[in-house]
Chain A
Amino acid sequence: MQQVILKEEMAKRQAPPLGTCMMGLAWVGPGIIQYGTEEQKKRFIPDILNSKYHWCTGYSEPNVGSDLAALQCKAVLDGDHYVINGTKIWTSLAPFAQWISMLVRTDNFGATTTKHDGITALLVDLSSAGIAIKPIENMAGGKVFAQIFFDDVRVPVNNRLGKEGQGWAVTISSLANERSSIGEVTAMYAKLDGLKTLVKDSQRQGKPAMEDQRIRRRLAVFEAKIEAMRLNGLRYLTRQIKGEPLSSETSVNKLHRADLEVEMSDFAIDVLGQSGLQLGNQIETVDRGKWAKESLGWPNVVIGGGTPNIQKNIIAERILGLPKD
């Protein structure tokens, strides 16, 4: 609830986004508050709140994406330390982070009954010996995600979040936090305003673009979806406040967000025509290439936290009760 208010107010005042401290505030902090020991809370929460340390989250691996529970990066207990070997990839913000909240496999590969068992969550200092971070350039030219290599990295046992083997539960709650996305709605409205301004300043086929009924309709469809996200979020929040457990309803907004990210930035390019294709600062470039960059930047939001197809599986299986595939 507090996060919703914070994000709405920040977006309204057009404050810069939380950026690199976002991960800590949105995902890692709530996880530590829910599953951490008293000592962990004292040690980590103040530094998350004052943004002293930036966090990233280590889930995906080179062969493990949507099927997250199949992860292979392993940690073996050695005295009062875990020793990690393996790799994590597509780790957003890793090049800027000091700490990572990550999932490792602590069972002996297949000894337990399901692949969800034997997964453990660890909080790891990225300056530990044996860690190498290799940034990966995305198609928009940014280097915000990375692959991280762990080679005999020693992590104290008291950096374990939750019990050994409880990592899956810890993750599910983090991902649900990520999918609630209520706070993003105000930013989406701001983006819609930006698109309206762009249309007002643009011509299409020799006429003001706003005279094109198809353009007006597309803007109104965006507005309907964004408003639906806002009201869905408030409806689900009301249920949480009343103490009714949510199933996977937050995937609804995650799917809207995914559609809108792609559709809104493509719309901008449609309105701009060829001048919307320039990423850099050439003379014809509109808004410093902002729309072009956004039209390539959507995978962060659309793929991160679970692809649209995975969200649809979640809704179909957990809410509608259809068989797993």
Chain B
Amino acid sequence: MNFGFTEEQDLLRDQVRKFLDAQSPVSRVREIMHTDEGFDRQIWQQIADLGWLGLVVDPEHDGVGLGFVDLIVILEEMGKSLFPSPFIAHSLAASTLDELASDDQKKRYLNDLACGRKIGTIALLDIHDLPNADSISLSGVVHQDGVILSGKKTFVMDADSADLFVVAFKDQHAIYLALISRDQTGVSTQGSATMDLTKRTGSLELDHVKVAPQDLILATAENISRLLDKAAVAVTAEVIGAAEAVIYMTSSYAKDRIQFDNPIGKYQGVKHRLAEMYVDVESFKSLLYYAAWCVKESPAELARSASLAKAYASDAFSQIGTDGVQLHGAIGFTQEYDMQLYLKRSKWARPIFGDADYHYERIHQLSVTD
């Protein structure tokens, strides 16, 4: 029995922490998040050199060949530092190709993603509050020459930065994933920042875009479900780091801030709320670690375990973000103080890839079909 990380994973965590502390402390994050692109291409290249961009890609395609348990180690630390980059979108695109693409497709696309020569993202859904295959409405008719796609995908993570889009559509028989490059005729994007400036989204417009048959992947509803589960796992891993940062910042403040002649952390109204935050983070952390393990080791359990983690974390982190600001008092909602950045992240993390209502309902449905 082993419900802990390996020594290698602990070393990876140290490496990530040292790297982010040196290259992207929150002061630097604040500069990056106000740029047009919203991320720093120099740091991105360094990450590529460290192998993180191909972490979950087969070594045969220039990847490192590790799994989601390793990926979440990086993501937890990125969440702690609010590191702005297309890392989640890119890793999900790479992982999708790694699992579903043909050898030829991998040679043409995956090596570039794993080395960081290109940035990938996923554009799956057209309805976002029901993250499953039923929410794909983009359609096209696939024939021997491929397909011509017209339509608009909204809320595509890092739409403006991506070079390669994994786009889901339906024809009358099946679900497909189309591999579409930014430089193809008829492809355009309209990027936008969310209230969390470290997280970029956007729309992908397709105007009679021709997709060749060799750029299509025949997919199933289960493939889409698994991909969205991996997305929920990735996002929740960042939530762990961000929530721990809130607890750390707020506990530190509560030890220093004197009111009524005592540090406010001495008062149970403050200390008990911090203890409750700790209980919640420990708990969705355990749920998330198990879900990440299921990606490779127990795929049949992934749906339930990912939903448990995302459901718990969505509600809990949202409360943690709010209370983190509130326990700081007025300083907590100034632009200058970092706490507000974490509150914005907690708002961002709530609806993405399914909110708590969606995932709790799904947990129920899964328990009925067992």
> Which residues of A line the B interface, CB within 8 A?
196, 213, 216-217, 219-221, 223-225, 227-229, 231-232, 234-235, 237-239, 241-242, 249, 252, 255-256, 309, 311-313, 315-317, 319-325
Partner of A235, one of B247, B271, B289, B312: B289
Residue of A nearest to B362 (CB): A220
The contact string, 1 if C-beta is below 8 Å from chain A, for chain B 267-278, is 110111011101
Alpha-carbon distance A315/B254, docked complex (angstroms): 15
* Complex contact B361–A227 (CB within 8 A): no
In the complex, the answer to whether A232 meets B254 with C-beta atoms within 8 Å is: no
In the bound complex, do residue A217 and residue B361 qualify as a contact, i.e. CB atoms below 8 Å apart? yes
Q: Is the CB of B2 within 8 A of A325?
A: no
B363 touches A323 (CB 8 A): no
Segment 225-243 of B: residues with Cβ below 8 Å from A: none
Which residues of B in the span 272-288 have a Cβ within 8 Å of any Cβ on A? Answer: 272, 274-276, 278-279, 282-284, 286-287
Residue from B247, B272, B305, B367 in contact with A312 in the complex, judged by beta carbons closer than 8 Å: B272
Complex Cα distance, B311 from A237, in Å, reads 25
A-B CB contact pairs (8 Å), 29 listed: A216-B364, A217-B360, A217-B361, A220-B363, A220-B364, A220-B367, A221-B311, A223-B308, A223-B367, A225-B283, A229-B283, A231-B290, A237-B1, A237-B3, A241-B1, A311-B275, A312-B271, A313-B268, A313-B271, A316-B265, A316-B275, A317-B271, A320-B274, A320-B275, A320-B278, A322-B254, A322-B255, A322-B263, A323-B262
Q: Does B49 contact A (CB under 8 A)?
A: no
B302 to chain A, nearest CB (A): 14
A252-B278 in contact given A231-B3, A235-B4, A313-B271 (Cβ < 8 Å):
yes
Whether A316 touches B274, Cβ cut-off 8 Å, given contacts A221-B360, A325-B268, is yes
C-alpha spacing A300/B270, complex, angstroms: 27
Q: How far apart sit A249 and B281, CA to CA, in the bound complex (Å)?
A: 12
Residue B251 interfacial (CB < 8 Å) = yes
Residues of B within 8 A of A234 (CB): 1, 3, 286
Residue numbers in A under 8 Å from B357 (CB-CB): 217
Closest chain-A Cβ to B365's Cβ sits at a distance in Å of 9
Q: Which of chain A's residues have a CB closer than 8 A to the CB of B361?
A: 213, 216-217, 220
- Say how far A226's CB is from chain B's closest CB, in angstroms: 10
Which residues of A sit under 8 angstroms from B3, Cβ to Cβ? 231, 234-235, 237-238
CA distance A229 to B285 in the complex (A): 11
Whether A315 and B266, one on each chain, are in contact in the complex, defined by CB atoms closer than 8 angstroms, is no
Complex Cα gap A234–B367 (Å): 22
Q: Apart from A238-B3, A239-B4, A312-B268, list 7 A-B contacts with CB within 8 A.
A: A217-B357, A217-B360, A224-B312, A232-B286, A252-B283, A320-B274, A322-B271
Residues of A within 8 A of B262 (CB): 323
A312 to B270, CA, bound (A): 11
The residue of chain B having its C-beta at the shortest distance from the C-beta of A215 within the complex is B364
**Is there an interface contact between A255 and B312, defined as CB atoms closer than 8 Å?**
no
State how many residues of chain B have any CB contact under 8 Å with chain A.
39
With a CB–CB cut-off of 8 A, which chain A residues contact B367? 196, 220, 223
Interface Cβ pair total, 8 Å cutoff: 122
Known: A224-B311, A234-B1, A239-B4. A252 touches B271 (CB 8 A): no
**Cβ A323 vs Cβ B287 within 8 A:** no
Q: Mark B347-366, 1 if CB is under 8 A from A, else 0.
A: 00000000001001101100
Interface centre among A216, A227, A239, A325, by most chain B C-beta atoms within 10 angstroms, is A227
Whether B4 and A312, one on each chain, are in contact in the complex, defined by CB atoms closer than 8 angstroms, is no
A92, B30: Cα distance in complex, Å: 57
**C-alpha gap A209/B1 in the complex (Å):** 40
Interface majority SS (helix, strand, loop, mixed), chain B: helix
Task: For residue A312, give the distance in angstroms from its CB to the closest CB of chain B.
Answer: 4
**Complex Cα spacing A315 to B367, Å:** 33
The CA-CA distance from A172 to B313 in the complex, in Å, is 32
Whether B278 lies near A319 (C-beta < 8 A) is yes
Chain A min CB distance to B358 (Å): 11
In the complex, which residues of chain A have a beta carbon less than 8 angstroms from the beta carbon of B312? Answer: 224-225, 228
Shortest Cβ gap from A20 to chain B (Å): 31
Q: Are B251 and A321 in contact (CB under 8 A)?
A: yes
Shortest C-beta distance, A305 to chain B (Å), equals 16
Interchain nearest-CB distance for B305 vs A (Å): 8
Check B255–A321 contact: CB distance below 8 A.
yes
Complex interface: chain A residues within 8 A of B279 (CB) = 252, 255-256, 315
- Asked if A223 and B363 make an inter-chain contact with CB atoms under 8 angstroms apart, the answer reads yes
Contact with A along B65-108 (1 / 0, CB 8 A): 00000000000000000000000000000000000000000000
Check A228/B266 contact, CB under 8 A, given A213-B361, A316-B272: no
Chain A contacts for B287, CB-based, 8 A: 224, 227-228, 231
Residues in B whose Cβ lies below 8 Å from that of A216 = 360-361, 364
Bound-complex Cα distance A232 to B361 (A) = 23
State in angstroms the CA–CA spacing of A100 and B251 once bound together.
41
- Nearest 10 pairs between A and B by C-beta? A231-B286, A228-B283, A316-B271, A322-B265, A312-B275, A220-B360, A315-B275, A220-B363, A238-B3, A234-B3
B274 to chain A: which residues have CB within 8 Å?
316, 320, 322
Residues of B within 8 A of A323 (CB): 255, 262-263, 265-266
B270 contact set on A, CB distance < 8 A: 322
* Cβ < 8 Å to A, chain B residues 315-370: 357, 360-361, 363-364, 367
CA distance A28 to B2 in the complex (A): 28
Q: Is the CB of B1 within 8 A of A238?
A: yes
Given contacts A238-B3, A313-B271, A316-B274, contact A220 B251 (CB under 8 A): no
Closest to A232 in B: B286
Rounded to whole Å, the gap between the CB of B43 and the closest CB of chain A is 32
Find chain B residues with CB under 8 A from A325 CB: 266-268, 271
Minimal beta-carbon separation of A236 from chain B (angstroms): 9
> What B residues does A321 contact at CB under 8 A?
251, 255
Q: Check if B4 sits within 8 Å of A242, measured CB to CB.
A: yes
A229 proximity list for chain B (CB < 8 A): 283
Task: Write the B136-180 contact mask toward A (1 if CB under 8 angstroms, else 0).
Answer: 000000000000000000000000000000000000000000000
Chain A residues near B268 (CB-CB < 8 A): 309, 312-313, 325
